[in-house]
Amino acid sequence: MGEDGDWEDVKEDVDNDGDDRVGDGDEEMNENGDEAPGEDGDGAAKKKKKKKKKKTGAAAKLVKGTPSNKAEGRFLNEGSFTDYYVAHGQTEPPTLPVVNLFRGEDDEDPSRKGLPTFPQGEIQEHPLESNSHRVSSEELRAADRLQQDLYDKLRHASEVHRQVRHHAQSFIKPGIKLIDMCERLEETNRRLVQECGLERGIGFPTGCSLNHVAAHYTPNSGDDTVLSYDDVMKVDFGTQIDGRIIDCAWTVSFNPKYDPLLEAVKEATNAGIKAAGIDVRLCDIGESVQEVMESYEVELEGKTYPVKATYHKCIRNLNGHSMGPYHIHAGKSVPIVKCDDQTKMEENEIFAIETFGSTGRGYIVEDMECSHYMKNFHAPHVPLRVPRAKKLLAHINKTFGTLAFCRRWLEREDGGSATVNKQGGRQEKYLGALKNLCDVGIVQPYPPLVDVKGCYTAQYEHTLILRPTCKEILSRGDDY
């Protein structure tokens, strides 16, 4: 059971045109390269119900810059999702910095006059009886108010993440080149966060790992990989404000045969989120996650083969993690299987809760060409003599600091940030130097993490903060 190939045995003919690798190419595009609304890009994403078009003057066709409430992509709540930010003045496609949409005068607190108010995440109570006093404790509410600045940054970055991913969900279709997808997503991220060097920007490279690749794949330049109808893609991207990173991911698929896998992983992540809280043991979170993940039975109905039932499993050597300023992995790992880690979560900690399910072995190894890199947060200062390595390190220090980066960004005209590298920052012949920095331990490579070939992996991830009074799931959206 659960052996590789279970999924391959099953050929469901959900695809009706037999042309699932590359988009038909006849979609109507507006000047921004966006598909015009009203046209269904591919057979798989077809909506069960057609939404009535709003009749407003010239509303038959959407023009760049006009508001819309169309929600695209599978699993999205049609209509409702973008309403609120379009109501706040965002364009469709989104072009405006999110900060401009929330400049509120609607705050009762006079000390916050003129400051933008970003939407809160989902609020949950901390589990455990010992936390029941937290909601109403005056002392803890005061402690909570002292952290408003931190919450503002996290909520701002979260709102950028929601709007960027909503836009991405509208253009991710079979046939898209992954490198184009990443560049478009990252460009939207830069624009909506109003990129400003290390102050505000992208949190880490856009992961778009396919199938048995679970994490840490983004195309290097020259990689022509195209997304196909039968792929299972983990889109994992980040937004940061003053180093406060929102790390949040979902899984894209078109073929409904993967729905039970995606559903199981989504619910497993939600179980991990629900179990998290002040004084909760990390091992108990792992157990909750595993229980939900493995409760989902997958039924595969083949045409010629008998029905096989199997269970997907957690990828036991992948984890969630605590996060600190400019520090994606601040020290604590959140297991997604039963284990014996008695470490507890603590007040004010920020966690990325992520779970991975797999139809394969449920165990990943590093493989394939590396794209992701990050300075070792605790690396001591090492003076370098090799000129290329010295120059590359200076570039990394000013452009990314201790945030993760990828090769594609080093090769951009701006070297990864137009605000930092005003005279241009493209790195040339840098690969040797990058390897030197890895060899001496200043930079850490993060190669793709893969399960066995032929299997499928899925991921869902959210960022939350353990406030003194409650737990806030910052990156929660109407989509997942």
If one asks whether residue 214 binds Mn ion (CB under 5 A), the answer comes out as: no
Selected range binding Mn ion among 39-47, 353-361, 385-393, 417-425, rule: CB under 5 A: 353-361
How many Cα atoms within 13 Å fall on the side-chain side of residue 249? 30
If one asks whether residue 90 binds ligand HZT (CB under 6 A), the answer comes out as: no
Catalytic (active site) residue 12: no
If one asks whether residue 451 binds ligand HZT (CB under 6 A), the answer comes out as: no
* 404 interacts with, out of ligand HZT, Mn ion, none, CB within 5 to 8 A per kind: ligand HZT
> Is residue 354 part of an annotated ligand binding site?
yes
- In Å, how far from its chain's centre is CA 346? 24
Element containing residue 167 per DSSP (H, E): helix 148-171
* 359 interacts with, out of ligand HZT, Mn ion, none, CB within 5 to 8 A per kind: none
Q: How far apart are CA 233 and CA 242, in angstroms?
A: 29
- Which residue number, 262 or 374, has a Cβ lying nearer to ligand HZT? 374
If one asks whether residue 236 binds Mn ion (CB under 5 A), the answer comes out as: yes
Q: Which long-range contacts (CB under 8 A, 24 or more apart) does 115-119 make?
A: 115/152, 116/152, 116/156, 118/152, 118/155, 118/156, 118/158, 118/159, 119/84, 119/155, 119/159
Q: Is 345 exposed, middle or buried (0-12, 13-18, 19+ CB in 10 A)?
A: buried
Query: Can you point out the beta strands (E) in 329-389?
Result: 333-334, 350-358, 365-366, 372-375
> Is residue 247 part of an annotated ligand binding site?
yes
Bridge pairing between strands 443-446 and 372-375: antiparallel
Are the beta carbons of 323 and 463 closer than 8 angstroms?
yes
Q: Per this entry, what is the length of the chain? A: 480
Query: Applying CB under 6 A, which of residues 232, 246, 328, 364 lies at the interface with ligand HZT?
Result: 328
Catalytic (active site) residue 414: no
* 319 interacts with, out of ligand HZT, Mn ion, none, CB within 5 to 8 A per kind: ligand HZT
Q: Other C-beta atoms within 10 Å of 152: how many? A: 19
Catalytic (active site) residue 381: no
Size of the site for Mn ion (CB under 5 A): 6
Q: Find the binding residues for Mn ion in span 237-276 (CB under 5 A).
A: 247, 249
If one asks whether residue 333 binds ligand HZT (CB under 6 A), the answer comes out as: yes
Q: Which of 20, 231, 354, 451 is catalytic?
A: 354
CB-closest chain residue to ligand HZT: 404
Residues 6+ apart with CB under 8 A from 228: 20, 21, 174, 175
Q: Which two tokens stand for residue 433?
A: 């130097």
Burial call 170-198: b when 16+ CB within 10 Å, e when fewer: bbbbbbbebbebbebbbebbbbbbbbebb
> Is residue 329 part of an annotated ligand binding site?
yes
> Is residue 88 part of an annotated ligand binding site?
no
* 361 interacts with, out of ligand HZT, Mn ion, none, CB within 5 to 8 A per kind: none
Q: Is 363 exposed, middle or buried (0-12, 13-18, 19+ CB in 10 A)?
A: middle
- Which residue number, 37 or 238, has a Cβ lying nearer to ligand HZT? 238
If one asks whether residue 323 binds ligand HZT (CB under 6 A), the answer comes out as: no
Are the beta carbons of 254 and 229 closer than 8 angstroms?
yes
Which residue, 372, 364, 316, 370, is CA-closest to 339?
316
Query: Applying CB under 6 A, which of residues 141, 191, 329, 361 lies at the interface with ligand HZT?
Result: 329
- Which residue number, 82 or 459, has a Cβ lying nearer to ligand HZT? 459
* 329 interacts with, out of Mn ion, ligand HZT, none, CB within 5 to 8 A per kind: ligand HZT
Catalytic (active site) residue 321: yes
Q: How far apart are CA 360 and CA 212, in angstroms?
A: 8
Q: Which of 159, 247, 267, 284 is catalytic?
A: 247
- Which residue number, 140 or 330, has a Cβ lying nearer to Mn ion? 330
If one asks whether residue 204 binds ligand HZT (CB under 6 A), the answer comes out as: yes
Size of the site for ligand HZT (CB under 6 A): 17
If one asks whether residue 62 binds Mn ion (CB under 5 A), the answer comes out as: no
> Is residue 236 part of an annotated ligand binding site?
yes
Residues that bind Mn ion (CB under 5 A): 236, 247, 249, 352, 354, 461
Interface residue list for ligand HZT (CB under 6 A): 204-205, 207, 215, 236, 247, 319, 321, 328-329, 333, 352, 354, 372, 374, 404, 446
- Which residues carry a binding-site annotation? 216, 236, 247, 321, 329, 354, 461
Residues with a catalytic annotation lie at 236, 247, 321, 329, 354, 461
